[in-house]
Structure 1
Amino acid sequence: MTRTLSDDEVRKAVPMRDAVEAVRDAFDGLAAGHFTQPERLVFGDGRVLVMTAYHEPSGTGVVKTLGVQLDRDPAILGTVVWTGAGEPLVADATAVTTLRTGAVTGVATDLLAPPSAGHLALLGSGAQAADQVRAIAAVRELREVAIHSRTTGNARALSERLGTEFPAVSFRVAESVEDALADAEIVNCATSSETPLFALSALPQNVHVNAIGSFRPSMRELPGELLATASIVVVDQIGAALEEAGEVIKAVEDGVLDRGSIVELGAALREPPAVSGRTVFKSVGVAAQDWAIARSLAAYEE
């Protein structure tokens, strides 16, 4: 018999704090060589994606299929299938994807942002945005969140919804990117932009930046100058980033970012770096993250 879980059931089973820890463990396992993880299959210029991972120690695997339409909210719809131990499980891919993408920024932020950081700038107000805030709140004591979006109404609605969820945090809508970034200690970018969202000069000197929106070579959320001058650039997986992260691809091609200086998240978790100034985490998403959430779902009992 196959278990099937809806969006609400996924979120009930795996709170964000648990998701962060599950994804942290998965990246440690990825660095240890515990996963077989083929490159993501991409069809129709990113309109259909297929991601798979097999965890050798447990003999379990996950397959995720996504349909992507950027003019739709949520932009991604699909399924996650877990198999190999006990009864198979099928879960809503939108919930799993936003949860695991939030979780990985939580892992990276916990590693790279100062412990006292509590002022977040969120660029983007789409389906990924709320879990980006939840993830940062899971690893840092947030004080203020400034949200900027090209659709002000969406930013306002998100601000009100999250304000109810996190009453101790001050939420506001920023009319410009520069306004949002002015006092930021952490920046999360969650857009499908094909041009950088801000100029390097708009960033504070000491800030951690997460970018999770771009997943095609044509997309770029971050300016090349940031990647060139950051004290460290961390990615989920170097091969995936060099295939899919537009800002990383361009920075390497332009010679402003040395491929050899890019650090994978799993390796950074095993040997935490000394960080200062501006730090960057760029994620395009890897299937081990989906496996981490699916494993938690499979273990959940109502």
Structure 2
Amino acid sequence: MNTIGLDFDDVRAAVSMQDAIVAVRQAFLDLAAGHFEQPVRTAMRDGQFLIMSTHHRPSATAMVKTLSVDFTRVPAIAGTVTWAETRQGTLVADAAAVTGLRTGAVSGVATDLLAPADADTMAIIGAGGQAPDQVRAVHAVRPLRGLSIMDRDRSRAAALADLLRSELPQVEIDVADGVDTAVRRADIVTCATPATEPVLASEMLRPRVHINAIGAFRPTMRELPDDLLGEATVVIDDLAAILEESGEILHALDSGALTEDDLIVLGDALTHAPERRERTVFKTVGVAAQDWAIARLLAAKFLPAGAPA
């Protein structure tokens, strides 16, 4: 049996965002079909250490991700993604690279499903490690004309703007001084922050807008206010994970702004497109099937006989 090790650059060179979006979309369809055995992830020290695992029954493959999260360091995520299957061996990949790809990819899947077909302007709140892939994924499904970046650390927002200008020269990119300035003309808004209080207010936003909320992943974290969730079509990655970990959804349920019946699971929405209100929200805390999808692409490239079908 072989064990292949892949660092950050290996992962990024091997998997394009377009391929990641296709793979993650199929993983959510498989998740909805019951093809995954997937426990809710283990969180220790209030989310500073996370363990995620899943088994894909049809392919007899499994994935385990172990990581630490520290927003005071760069990169904030450090750890490993381990792919295992019964015949060809094991693959171990950098968790930061896989996490960026899979979190971007699921936002791409949700944006393609929920954002208006003519959406071409985006705002991103938070310019940390997840932000570049969020923009790349949205651009892959809704080619952007304009992008506004806002971060409390203006130098970090400026650095992200410089990076993305080199990759997306056709997109007009600016650094905003505040959240309201960033989002006022955006068709698509992504929140990628570790906030514990909402960073958006309903009145800041255009009447028709799609929002990806990807930063908050613990009950103590919250990026969106109750009234915004209450007026929107709300799609989530996984009900069990959301009810365990999503601070904004739990808060909205407690306040009565939402009921569990209002929550639409992404895999189901991909099969039966939901009725969309003017405002749509995709809330993700991240599930192991996403990491499995990226690891499967890596296994197909690097293990001797590739990943099983």
Determine if the TM-score, normalized by the shorter chain, exceeds 0.5. Answer: yes
CA distance in 2, matches of 1:39, 1:112: 26
* Corresponding position of 1:117: 119
* Corresponding position of 1:147: 149
Q: Quick one: percent identity of the two aligned structures?
A: 53
CA distance in 2, matches of 1:198, 1:233: 16
Residue 26, structure 1, aligned to residue 20, structure 2: no
Matched position secondary structure for 2:164: helix
CA distance in 2, matches of 1:118, 1:274: 22
The 5 Å alignment of 1:1-302 reads 1-84=2-85, 85-230=87-232, 232-301=233-302
Matched position secondary structure for 2:19: helix
CA distance in 2, matches of 1:279, 1:74: 30
Matched position secondary structure for 1:218: coil
Matched position secondary structure for 2:55: strand
The answer for unaligned runs of 5 or more in structure 2 is 304-309
Task: Report the CA distance between 1:17 and its aligned residue.
Answer: 0.4
CA distance in 1, matches of 2:252, 2:275: 23
Matched position secondary structure for 1:88: strand
Task: Report the CA distance between 1:133 and its aligned residue.
Answer: 0.3
CA distance in 2, matches of 1:301, 1:74: 25
CA gap 1:66/1:242 in 2 versus in 1, 3 angstroms = same
Task: Report the CA distance between 1:199 and its aligned residue.
Answer: 1.2
Task: Report the CA distance between 1:301 and its aligned residue.
Answer: 4.9
AA at the equivalent of 1:8 = D
Task: Report the CA distance between 1:87 and its aligned residue.
Answer: 1.9
CA distance in 2, matches of 1:259, 1:75: 32
Task: Report the CA distance between 1:73 and its aligned residue.
Answer: 2.3
CA distance in 1, matches of 2:122, 2:144: 7
- 1:193-215 CA-to-partner distances (Å, cap 9, x unmatched) read 00100211001110000000001
CA distance in 1, matches of 2:120, 2:137: 13
* Corresponding position of 2:306: none
- 1:144-165 CA-to-partner distances (Å, cap 9, x unmatched) read 0000000000000100110010
Task: Report the CA distance between 1:24 and its aligned residue.
Answer: 0.1
Does the 8 A contact of 2:4 with 2:302 survive in 1?
no
Does the 8 A contact of 2:209 with 2:278 survive in 1?
yes
CA distance in 2, matches of 1:86, 1:245: 37
CA distance in 1, matches of 2:200, 2:262: 23
- 1:188-240 CA-to-partner distances (Å, cap 9, x unmatched) read 0000000100211001110000000001101000111111111x100000111
Matched position secondary structure for 2:122: strand
